[in-house]
Amino acid sequence: MHHKSHYSTVSEAIAALREQGFTTDFNLDENCLICGDDKFKIDELEIVDVYHYEGDSDPSDEASVYGIESKSGVKGILVVGSGLNLSSRMLETLKRLKFNKD
């Protein structure tokens, strides 16, 4: 996992990841990540970068920004905020994502 720097805002982290080629927007589903009409199983993906943000004044401002790459070379971003209504199955799916060991 590469932590070159920590960006002060979620939007800065997203912009930096986009500059590194993470141009796809991933959405979390119950057993996979969705990108448009494509679905990626968890074992096809790995986390390359992650940034966590804590809401100083409001816990609902907490968020995590993930830079994710598929085995087929698709690079994208998944943003998970604490304000999102995630089912327990979605949380399990998120926990099963593996970090790149490089």
Q: What is the pLDDT of residues 3-31, one digit of tens each?
A: 445 788 889 999 999 999 999 999 988 88
In a domain, 64, yes or no: yes
C-alpha distances out from residue 39 to 8, 11, 36, Å: 31, 25, 8
In a domain, 63, yes or no: yes
**pLDDT attached to residue 78:** 94
In a domain, 2, yes or no: no
- Strands 45-53 and 38-41 come out as unpaired
More confident residue, 27 or 58: 27
Given a cut of 80, is residue 85 above it in pLDDT?
A: no
Given a cut of 50, is residue 1 above it in pLDDT?
A: no
In a domain, 3, yes or no: no
Tokens of 19: 């500059």
Q: Which domain holds residue 48?
A: 10-99
Helix (H, G, I), strand (E, B) or coil at 79: strand
- 40, burial (CB in 10 Å: exposed 0-12, middle 13-18, buried 19+): buried
In a domain, 85, yes or no: yes
- Number of domains comprising the chain: 1
**pLDDT attached to residue 5:** 56
In a domain, 5, yes or no: no
Question: Mean per-residue pLDDT for 77-96?
Answer: 81
Given a cut of 80, is residue 82 above it in pLDDT?
A: no
